[in-house]
Structure 1
Amino acid sequence: MTLPPHTPSYYAASANPFPEHPPLQGEVTADVCVVGGGMTGCSAALHLAERGYKVVLIESQRIGWGASGRSGGQLIAGYATDMSNVEKHVAPEDAKTLWDMSVEAIDSVKEHVARHAIACDYRPGHIHVGVKPRHERELHDLAEEWQRYGYGGLQYLDRAAVRERVDSERYTCGLYDPAGGHIHPLNYTLGLAAAAEKAGAMLYETTPMVRWEKGDPAVVVTPQGRVTAKWVVMAGNAYLWETERKLGQTIMPVGTYILATEPLGENRAAKLIPQNEAVADILFVLNYFRRSADHRMLFGGKVSYSRIDPGNVAESMRRTMLHYFPQLSDVKVDFAWGGYVAITVNRLPDFGRLAPNVIYAQGFSGHGVGLTTLAGRLMAETVAGQAERFDLIGRLPTIPFPGGTLFRTPALVLAMAWRRLRDAL
């Protein structure tokens, strides 16, 4: 049986071999049914199977088909908003726990890569960069905030220092974090899935959830079968909300886009980012980039809040890349692709329950590589009766998007137009 391929991308073209898994047919029973085969779902399946639970994972497309197999692959500490925003909603000791969990998130990725020998081109180091004078103060503030939580190793970079790390005249400052890093996200997701299967999880691809039925046990209905399970883990993020409309109230799927240049050769690629860190600017509509293992530039950004893709993704992203790296004007673009990530209004993740035995995690807002891996661990803890950490994130406020699912897109487009204008000022 030949299943539909992943969306064409550099990641799909360089994916590790991974066996196809047929769709679910007939009725099966399990301790836990995981809905979604991205990083969140595969991490949950792995942690649950290692705890001895009988796990069935269903994926509507292919393992890693969504954002988990298309993203920038950047490992970043913290959340997609300042900790000062977190502190408004929880006690100081809980804010410290939440911060520590964000650090655990990036550490857990490294642990999985090492323990399961996942070949995903992991490289250490991350740099936030600024392009305007006001960004210098913002990066100093960010460093002070993280250091207040005991996060060490940060290094502020002035214009000269950031130029030594990133060969672009556009950047005025930077903040280097040695604990961050970057990975090949699709190969990491496939590695998690393989480890989950080895631990005993059963994986089914091209098996969307048609609906779920409340109860103890709950039932997940698919086109050709059904899963009866004591617990259901919803891990579809930007791709599940149309099936379960309650999940769509607090997240917005937004498009983001990446190009991969032709191979540059080791010397030329190394000159762009000499120490091979992942890099992201701190514009609200941010750009992010890194080197690939075969010496390409991977450059992403160009967020679409309208869910209308650029007419020519490759050319649109190439223009942005050349604004920062004009020395690549002679370089061809081999791959260009996009996909949806789920954002929340306040950029805090959205964890919760649809029923006592039906839990979900979504809305990672661009910090998904680490936080999705952590989410899977916390969901497994919850199934095992240790829900304190999952529920702590669940207590963070979830704010519905204005306008509901019908009118929120035009409202968000208008709001983002202001944000883009501010980025330009």
Structure 2
Amino acid sequence: MSVPSHIDSYYAASANDKKVRPKLEGEHRCDVCVVGAGFTGISTALSLAERGKRVVVLEGTRIGFGASGRNGGQIVNSFNRDIDYITRTYGEDIGQKMGKMAFAGSELIRERIEKYNIDCDLKHGNVFAACNKKQFEDLKSKKALWEAHGHNELELLSASSIQDHIGSDRYAGGLLDRKGGHIQPLNLVLGQAQALESLGGIIFEDSKAIRIEQGKPAKVVTEHGVVVADTVVVAGNAYLLGLIPEVEKKAMPCGTQMVATEVLSEELQKQLLPTGYCVEDCNYLLDYFRLSGDGRLIYGGGTSYGAREPGKIEQLIVPKMLKTFPYLKGVKIDFEWTGNFLLTLLRMPQVGCIGDNLFYAQGYSGHGVTNSHLMGVILADAIEGDRERYDVFASMPQYPFPGGRMLRVPYTAIGASYYIMRDKLGI
């Protein structure tokens, strides 16, 4: 019998926990059944287990199989839409409440790593790199905005001082966020999964949910078993695959691509990223990069709308890498992979409840590492009866992409082309 596996990525190759969890068979009873063992699902389950709840997690393939085990590994604060946009769009009250949550995800990640002694190559600090003067002015505004909401560990970087952190003359300046950072994401989710199991939580792999029967209690049905639960949380994000169509139509899977080089010499590592901070640029379709724990450059970028798998990732990403670091020409690429994240029309996370006891959360639109961890605690709070933070997210409108499944990809690609042109023109 074949065992499902992670994709062939650097993260899978360097995973600390290669244990395969059993497949669900027969009937299990619990307080909460969580569908999806990525950051959202495991964070929710762990938060509930810490409060004494009996939790079962169903994963269709392997823990962290989707975006949680494939992403750039960057701890980036706030949301895809920043606090100023949220305030203008949804009002001062919502803006203030979102501002209080904008930096909570990164704090939670660090707390979990320390509390459960998770080995995931945590490094502190990230740099937002401006590719032109317009982007640099925007970073000045971001600094003022975040400081107004209590974040005081920021430093503006000039075109010369950013080279103290990035060995490239490509950038017009930047913003250093010392509350940001980076991790090996698959090891982070695996470490939290082990913490969940230590508290009595149960995780079944290779156990795709094929049907949810709503009611009190609800039933989550797989090919070989069923979980009966008082509450269900669906945390499949870009990998729902038809389980709840009314939720799935509200967002669009998008693919992003990464490569990891061979292990680089210490001298070359210091030349690339002297301070070890991770970096993302400020373009609409951004590039992002960092050093791994064993000294590889992990470089990602590009977006394929509709989660299409690019045929040759190396040919797509390496030219981007060489534009930033021309002196890496000839460096060997050891790994290349792609993963899907979920984009929403308003670029805000979507949170809700169908009926009384079927919760869902999805659509972090590129800010999933921090937002998904926070969302797990918010969902656990809501299940326990504290809906204050949940209601902030749930109050925001959730629109389906226009044109349905057939037209949402071309419509979004047209919109992206407009912003790509703006990036190129520096406006």
TM bin, normalised by shorter chain, reads over 0.9
Task: Report the alpha carbon displacement of residue 358 of structure 1 after superposing the two structures with TM.
Answer: 0.7
Structure 2 contact 258–336 (Cα < 8 Å) conserved: yes
| Partner residue, 1:294 | 294
Structure 1 contact 74–183 (Cα < 8 Å) conserved: yes
Q: Secondary structure at 1:108's aligned position in 2? A: helix
How large is the Cα RMSD of the aligned pairs? Answer: 1.3
TM-score by length of 1: 0.97
| Partner residue, 2:163 | 163
Is residue 2:273 matched to residue 1:273?
A: yes
- Counterpart CA distance in 1 for 2:16 and 2:283 is 34
Q: Deviations over 1:129-185 (max 9, x none)?
A: 011121121111111111121211211111001111101111111000101000000
Q: Secondary structure at 2:354's aligned position in 1? A: strand
Structure 1 contact 305–416 (Cα < 8 Å) conserved: no
Structure 1 contact 260–299 (Cα < 8 Å) conserved: yes
Q: Secondary structure at 1:339's aligned position in 2? A: strand
Is residue 2:83 matched to residue 1:83?
A: yes
Q: Deviations over 1:5-29 (max 9, x none)?
A: 2000000010002421111011111
- Counterpart CA distance in 2 for 1:151 and 1:67 is 27
Q: Secondary structure at 1:45's aligned position in 2? A: helix
Is residue 2:402 matched to residue 1:364?
A: no
Task: Report the alpha carbon displacement of residue 82 of structure 1 after superposing the two structures with TM.
Answer: 2.1
Task: Give the unaligned 5+ runs of structure 2.
Answer: none
Counting only pairs closer than 5 Å after superposition, residues 168-179 of structure 1 correspond to structure 2 as 168-179=168-179
Task: Report the alpha carbon displacement of residue 78 of structure 1 after superposing the two structures with TM.
Answer: 0.7
Counting only pairs closer than 5 Å after superposition, residues 126-145 of structure 1 correspond to structure 2 as 126-145=126-145
Task: Report the alpha carbon displacement of residue 422 of structure 1 after superposing the two structures with TM.
Answer: 2.0
Structure 1 contact 89–396 (Cα < 8 Å) conserved: no
Task: Report the alpha carbon displacement of residue 91 of structure 1 after superposing the two structures with TM.
Answer: 4.1
Counting only pairs closer than 5 Å after superposition, residues 202-241 of structure 1 correspond to structure 2 as 202-241=202-241
- Counterpart CA distance in 2 for 1:326 and 1:31 is 55
- Counterpart CA distance in 2 for 1:267 and 1:106 is 30
Q: Secondary structure at 1:307's aligned position in 2? A: coil
- Counterpart CA distance in 2 for 1:415 and 1:325 is 29
The amino acid across from 2:48 in the alignment is: L
Q: Secondary structure at 1:400's aligned position in 2? A: coil
| Partner residue, 1:186 | 186
Structure 2 contact 17–187 (Cα < 8 Å) conserved: no
TM-score by length of 2: 0.97
Structure 2 contact 84–95 (Cα < 8 Å) conserved: no
**Count of paired positions:** 425
The amino acid across from 1:251 in the alignment is: A
Structure 1 contact 102–370 (Cα < 8 Å) conserved: no
Counting only pairs closer than 5 Å after superposition, residues 214-363 of structure 1 correspond to structure 2 as 214-363=214-363
Task: Report the alpha carbon displacement of residue 2 of structure 1 after superposing the two structures with TM.
Answer: 6.0
The amino acid across from 1:103 in the alignment is: F
Structure 1 contact 41–57 (Cα < 8 Å) conserved: yes
Structure 2 contact 126–279 (Cα < 8 Å) conserved: yes
- Counterpart CA distance in 1 for 2:198 and 2:18 is 13
Is residue 2:155 matched to residue 1:147?
A: no
Structure 2 contact 234–358 (Cα < 8 Å) conserved: yes
| Partner residue, 1:112 | 112
- Counterpart CA distance in 2 for 1:35 and 1:307 is 21
- Counterpart CA distance in 2 for 1:73 and 1:7 is 16
- Counterpart CA distance in 2 for 1:202 and 1:194 is 10
Judged with a 3 Å threshold, the aligned counterparts in structure 2 of structure 1 residues 306 and 228 are, in CA distance, closer, same or farther, namely closer
Is residue 2:195 matched to residue 1:198?
A: no
Q: Deviations over 1:364-384 (max 9, x none)?
A: 111111111111111111111
Task: Report the alpha carbon displacement of residue 217 of structure 1 after superposing the two structures with TM.
Answer: 0.8
- Counterpart CA distance in 2 for 1:35 and 1:17 is 21
Structure 1 contact 127–280 (Cα < 8 Å) conserved: yes
- Counterpart CA distance in 1 for 2:85 and 2:43 is 27
Is residue 2:25 matched to residue 1:63?
A: no
The amino acid across from 1:302 in the alignment is: G
Q: Deviations over 1:277-325 (max 9, x none)?
A: 1100010001100001111100011111143333210121111100111
The amino acid across from 1:76 in the alignment is: V
Counting only pairs closer than 5 Å after superposition, residues 19-58 of structure 1 correspond to structure 2 as 19-58=19-58
Structure 1 contact 38–67 (Cα < 8 Å) conserved: yes
Moved more, 239-248 or 172-181: 239-248
Task: Give the unaligned 5+ runs of structure 1.
Answer: none
- Counterpart CA distance in 1 for 2:385 and 2:126 is 35
Q: Secondary structure at 1:338's aligned position in 2? A: strand
Q: Deviations over 1:264-289 (max 9, x none)?
A: 12221122111111100010001100
| Partner residue, 1:393 | 393
Counting only pairs closer than 5 Å after superposition, residues 403-422 of structure 1 correspond to structure 2 as 403-422=403-422
